[in-house]
């Protein structure tokens, strides 16, 4: 039995999972698609070098495909990962929820999470009214493209007209402590994050360095994390939470293809090892 990692060897997440699979003696094939000669969805994968891998032998797939994957190969692998009974972390169809943050927020609310009041608009007047209602607000991209979360400041007034050209997402600002939760199958790894930045991923030296450590979530919050992953059809998820100063747990979004390396390095949580274990089990056992 073999685990297939569809991604680049230079991707830290792919490399970490490949190493974890090797440590448990599992066979692993890493491909970015450029070395694949053909994919017979009902039969086997053949590499340019002549390796023939029966698709029925693959127990699990990690999906982190580079955009440079040749279209016909991408299409074949995408179709097979939708149909295979193997464990797939994650099917591209499940990852689609992250392409529309407003849509994903609705699903997260259905999973039981508190969601900040949110506005998506192309009208500056809506933004001003929303700001008047909530005081401090933040803005971000509505799509899955990574963007830096920023506070809307009085100095941004002169730029509000720009929203006419691009729908922008605004949210009430929630004061509190960030948490990143990785769901891997039935396991859950939570990290508490302290930073002086609005978006801890981009903290500047003046905002203090970001610190994080492993924590145990309240049972009901952990349950909501598992429910959110299930609702979104994800066996692997990176969930962004904040414990508000009001004592409520708020959810901002779910990364459907989380690059977990930074969190693993900072907390020593065995996330890659947990992924490797899931990829070596059949779906019914995952």
Determine phi and psi for 177, rounding to 5 degrees.
-110, 125
CB 2 within 8 A of CB 28: yes
140 within some domain: yes
125, 20: one domain: no
Last residue of a domain, one of 154, 172, 190: 172
263 within some domain: no
The CATH number of the domain holding residue 50 is 3.40.50.20
Measured distance CA(77)–CA(71) in Å, rounded:
10
Measured distance CA(73)–CA(67) in Å, rounded:
12
| CA geometry: angle 61, 214, 196, nearest 5 deg | 110
Measured distance CA(114)–CA(198) in Å, rounded:
19
Nearest to 234 by CA among 109, 114, 87: 87
Alpha carbon distances (Å) from 95 to 49, 167, 201, 250: 31, 21, 21, 21
The pLDDT score that the predictor gives to residue 286 is 46
The pLDDT score that the predictor gives to residue 266 is 93
The pLDDT score that the predictor gives to residue 92 is 93
What is the sign of the dihedral through the CA atoms of 64, 274, 53 and 50?
Answer: positive
Mean pLDDT by 10 residues, the chain (286 residues): 90 96 93 85 80 89 88 90 93 88 90 93 94 92 79 89 91 94 97 83 68 95 95 95 95 93 95 96 51
276 within some domain: no
198, 150: one domain: no
Burial 120-151 (b: 16+ CB within 10 A, else e): bbeeeeebeebbeebeebbbbebebeeeebee
The pLDDT score that the predictor gives to residue 208 is 64
The pLDDT score that the predictor gives to residue 228 is 94
107, 243: one domain: yes
What is the token pair recorded at 285? 């056992």
14, 101: one domain: no
Determine phi and psi for 193, rounding to 5 degrees.
-125, 125
Nearest to 245 by CA among 174, 140, 170, 148: 174
Domain count, the chain: 3
As a whole number of Å, the end-to-end CA separation of the chain is 15
244 within some domain: yes
Residue-range definition of the domain harbouring residue 133: 118-172
């Amino acid at each position: 039995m073999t685990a297939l990692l569809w991604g680049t060897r230079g991707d830290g997440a792919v490399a970490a999972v490949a190493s974890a699979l090797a440590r448990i003696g599992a066979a692993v094939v890493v491909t970015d698609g450029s070395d694949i000669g053909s994919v017979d969805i009902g039969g086997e994968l053949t590499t340019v070098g002549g390796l023939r891998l029966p698709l029925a032998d693959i127990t699990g797939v990690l999906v982190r495909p580079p955009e440079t994957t040749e279209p016909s190969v991408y299409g074949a692998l995408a179709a097979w990962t939708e149909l295979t009974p193997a464990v797939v972390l994650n099917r591209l169809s499940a990852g689609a929820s992250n392409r529309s943050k407003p849509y994903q927020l609705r699903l997260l609310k259905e999973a039981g999470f508190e969601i900040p009041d949110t506005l998506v608009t192309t009208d500056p007047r809506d933004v001003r009214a929303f700001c008047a209602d909530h005081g401090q607000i933040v803005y971000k991209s509505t799509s899955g493209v990574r963007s830096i979360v920023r506070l809307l400041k009085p100095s941004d007034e002169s730029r509000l007209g720009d929203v006419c050209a691009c729908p922008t997402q605004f949210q009430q600002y929630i004061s509190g402590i960030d948490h990143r939760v990785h769901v891997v199958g039935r396991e859950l790894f939570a990290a508490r994050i302290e930073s002086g930045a609005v978006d801890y991923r981009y903290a500047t030296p003046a905002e203090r360095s970001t610190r994080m450590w492993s924590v145990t979530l309240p049972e009901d919050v952990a349950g909501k994390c598992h429910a959110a992953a299930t609702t979104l059809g994800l066996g692997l998820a990176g969930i962004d939470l904040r414990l508000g100063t009001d004592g409520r747990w708020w959810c901002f979004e779910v990364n459907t293809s989380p690059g977990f390396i930074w969190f693993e390095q900072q907390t020593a949580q065995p996330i890659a090892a947990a992924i490797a274990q899931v990829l070596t089990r059949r779906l019914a056992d995952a």
